[in-house]
Structure 1
């Protein structure tokens, strides 16, 4: 038992700060996704990450800061996938590819997806952090699909991006609870529902 503890301690010492931070964020993503913001404890995150609580606080000054880092990481990965998908074909093809990339992310990274759906209402700082993450994602969506929104007023563009974002989130939450539905079928349905709002006007 003591040998194992010493080996674990040596392993923790060998980790570079950026590697340790990554492990902490990965652990936080899992716990926040499973338990929500209120149900997550820093003790549990530290234990899952294999670090002590003081080490955890060396990297993140609060649970809200840790939540922000985890949510930013999941969002940035999702947006990167969407950016790559937006390079293929015409506007309609790129729009569909973006939806495909979103649901592939949900399928491959369910904890990352669930984390993005967490609304930490119990903590004003964390709630603001979540709002920032979602707002920045929405601005990216609006910019990426701006060719489809020519002629629309600014508030109409914001509304379209909000509708698209929240609609996909709702479908993803439903799919995570109904995983027997094939991803392609869900993409077809989401595309059909969304394209009418985003598609070019006659």
Structure 2
């Protein structure tokens, strides 16, 4: 057709990133169960054939969306904590970054992290593994703040912190009127007394 602009051909990595970004929006709008590969293709303005050039199936697309979002979250938490001087400030900054992500990407968090996707089978297992890796990122921060803590203990503390933050975020999605700073304060109230003891090296060794 005269005057029609030719479709711009994207480099493979750019196209893959575009498809993941579009797929995230479709999953947010329709949920995991309500989304088909055809929906993602239509939203991206491409064919199903092109989608399958980059991804084996819907499950792989979903897991790539989850991985990209978790990478974004993990990077934000580490960067925020790394810019703070004391263990207390690191924890506060990390919580702040986490809850700002939930605030700014709330619908994404619901579908990818908050149990709103209704995934099962291998997808659920892969999602759980990614959740585990996020907690291990926190374990690295614990070891930095408290070098005397052994790896097993640091991992256990980190998983407790990660679980508490995730559960509070789920609560927050029902109470969005609560400010980020207040939420961070609640987390610090609940966790810092024990974590301060750990950071200062006064925790008793388990038998």
Q: Which moved more, 1:32-41 or 1:129-138?
A: 32-41
Q: Counterparts of 1:106 and 1:176 in 2: how far apart (Å)?
A: 8
Offset of residue 178 of structure 1: 2.3
Measure, in 2, the Cα distance between the counterparts of 1:91 and 1:17. Answer: 42
Deviations 1:85-138 (CA, angstroms, capped at 9, x unpaired): 122111110111000011111122224422123476654221222022111111
1:80 shift after superposition: 0.9
More helix by share: 1
TM-score, normalised to structure 1, is 0.83
**Structure 1: runs of 5 or more not aligned:** none
Among 79, 96, 113, the residue aligned to 1:100: 96
1:158 aligns with 2:162: no
Q: Give yes or no for the alignment of 1:68 onto 2:63.
A: yes
SS in 2 for 1:117: coil
Contact 2:142–2:154 (8 Å) recurs in 1: no
Are the equivalent residues in 1 in contact too, given 2:73–2:101 (CA < 8 A)?
Answer: yes
Matched with 1:47 is: 42
Q: How does 1:121-200 map to 2 (within 5 A)?
A: 122-146=119-143, 147-148=145-146, 150-151=148-149, 154=152, 156-200=153-197
The C-alpha deviation readout for 1:16-56, integer Å capped at 9, x for no partner, is 32222122111222233344432322122222222221111
Higher mean alpha-carbon deviation, 39-48 vs 143-152, is at 143-152
* Corresponding residue to 1:113 among 92, 109, 112: 109
Do the aligned residues in 1 keep the contact of 2:172 with 2:178 (CA within 8 Å)? yes
Q: What's the CA shift for 1:198? A: 2.5
Distance 1:3 1:170, change over 3 A: farther
Inter-CA distance 73–90: structure 2 relative to 1 (3 Å threshold): same
Aligned residues: 196
Give me the TM-score of the superposition, normalised by structure 2. Answer: 0.81
Aligned residues: CA RMSD: 2.6
Supply the distance in 1 between the matched residues of 2:95 and 2:22 (Cα, whole angstroms). Answer: 27
What is the match of residue 205 of structure 2? none
Selected match of 1:37 from 27, 32, 35: 32
